Structure 1
């Protein structure tokens, strides 16, 4: 009888906690799960390194960006991709960029050496997203300074084409330096890597919140039902889940995503 009463108490406590746990899971998932509709709006063009869906990059700047990106990939394997869109449709530009970078597979699968420069003209927002493999070379402070120095001054005056070209060249130079090669501009001064204050970004913290919420839910479930904990991750036949995957497009341009992954490194600015 005592055991039955104890089990009933545990079951009641578990039922009371369940709505709170489900709420935490939903809140975390709302910020961390990819928004498929966002990046699905666009697929990479045949000229993979420059994708001007907002129609603001001049033909000469587009040619320069493409040539720089193609040469960088041939020499290092890294991919720096420039994208303009009219709007993210109300979605945070950082999350939009992460989803797009992962869906396009920017960077090489085994090196995660991709960089995305994303401009949303109507939203007046710009961001840089950095693959796992280049986060040391392009930390949040450095990408923020690149935007402040090369992009937003031009964007504030409506000069989107020149701002994209200048910021893209800065990113190309930084990646060459990371690989021990000379930058394309002889007079280029590397951006300081000094960290800005403020700690981790929300995108970096929320996956841990989701994990803790899921873990707590499994513990309550196992105690209330008496069975083994529910497994949220892949079974023994499949490895742990990851972002990225195969690249899209490329076509006549001869380039496409290599399956690289992004983890939340980068910066964004309004103008």
Structure 2
């Protein structure tokens, strides 16, 4: 019997050790979308994150939690961010459409953790680009407030588009800030368009060399850049009566990490 008692004691000890190793900052009781434990966010950024989250949740059911800490206390940032997503329950329990943006100041690391339901909208590669393009350049200069805000805007726009919501509708102050950036540069699009035109002329000249003139034969494809139409109705979402609360979402480690 003694050996069984010892084994039980060892199991309990190991459980306590593992639990303490996964200890994370507590979930905020108010303004749950912003947990600025490192104190790097301005009041304006904090307010924008809260306001846009409430509209996003009302329109899509998705949630984006922004968390800053001074240190990860020895944990890998991937583990820490995943525990925040799971323990806090960011996103809907049915859709698992939560995102956690975690920034560890002293460790100089950041991660975008994506719930199961949004891994198609924000795959690992796209999450990595958001970190590299929008966030880390500012973090390198010590401007955490700006980097977090730009990263949040990009993520919110991608989530909105996934659910068929015009990203412009996320902000009544400046809708253009939430327009989704194209994954292909303007130069690449232009080059492809020119090549298509040349090929079209070439094929047309071969098939109909005598029947048509050079300009008469051209019927090029239309190329209209995407047009973002600002919302015409009131700023929707019901955020005036909104009660902040996470929905119990989860994830499996999708996302990307980066350092500076």
Report how many aligned residue pairs link the two structures.
Answer: 182
- Helix, strand or coil for the counterpart of 1:262? coil
RMSD: 2.3
Unaligned segments of structure 1, at least 5 residues: 1-28, 193-251
How far is the alpha carbon of 1:45 from its aligned partner?
Answer: 4.0
Confirm whether residue 146 of structure 1 aligns to residue 130 of structure 2: yes
Alignment partner for residue 175 of structure 1, among 154, 159, 164? 159
1:159: which partner in 2? 143
How far is the alpha carbon of 1:253 from its aligned partner?
Answer: 7.4
Structure 1 moving runs of 4+ over 6 Å: none
CA spacing shift, 1:55–1:144, aligned 2, 3 Å: same
CA spacing shift, 1:82–1:119, aligned 2, 3 Å: same
- Check the 8 A contact 1:108/1:260 in 2, yes or no: yes
How far is the alpha carbon of 1:190 from its aligned partner?
Answer: 3.8
1:112: which partner in 2? 96
2:110: which partner in 1? 126
Report 1:45-56 matches (<5 A).
45-56=29-40
How far is the alpha carbon of 1:256 from its aligned partner?
Answer: 1.6
2:244: which partner in 1? 255
- Check the 8 A contact 1:36/1:99 in 2, yes or no: no
- Helix, strand or coil for the counterpart of 1:94? helix
How far is the alpha carbon of 1:183 from its aligned partner?
Answer: 1.2
Q: Distance in 1 between matches of 2:140 and 2:167?
A: 27
Confirm whether residue 102 of structure 1 aligns to residue 86 of structure 2: yes
Give TM-score scaled by structure 1 length. Answer: 0.63
1:213: which partner in 2? none
How far is the alpha carbon of 1:37 from its aligned partner?
Answer: 4.6
How far is the alpha carbon of 1:113 from its aligned partner?
Answer: 0.4
2:41: which partner in 1? 57
Report 1:1-271 matches (<5 A).
37-184=21-168, 185-186=175-176, 187-191=179-183, 254-271=243-260
- Check the 8 A contact 1:104/1:259 in 2, yes or no: yes
- Check the 8 A contact 2:134/2:150 in 1, yes or no: yes
Q: Distance in 2 between matches of 1:35 and 1:174?
A: 34
Q: Distance in 2 between matches of 1:88 and 1:253?
A: 32
Q: Distance in 2 between matches of 1:79 and 1:128?
A: 13
1:247: which partner in 2? none
- Check the 8 A contact 1:38/1:88 in 2, yes or no: no
How far is the alpha carbon of 1:254 from its aligned partner?
Answer: 2.0
CA spacing shift, 1:49–1:122, aligned 2, 3 Å: same
- Check the 8 A contact 1:69/1:80 in 2, yes or no: yes
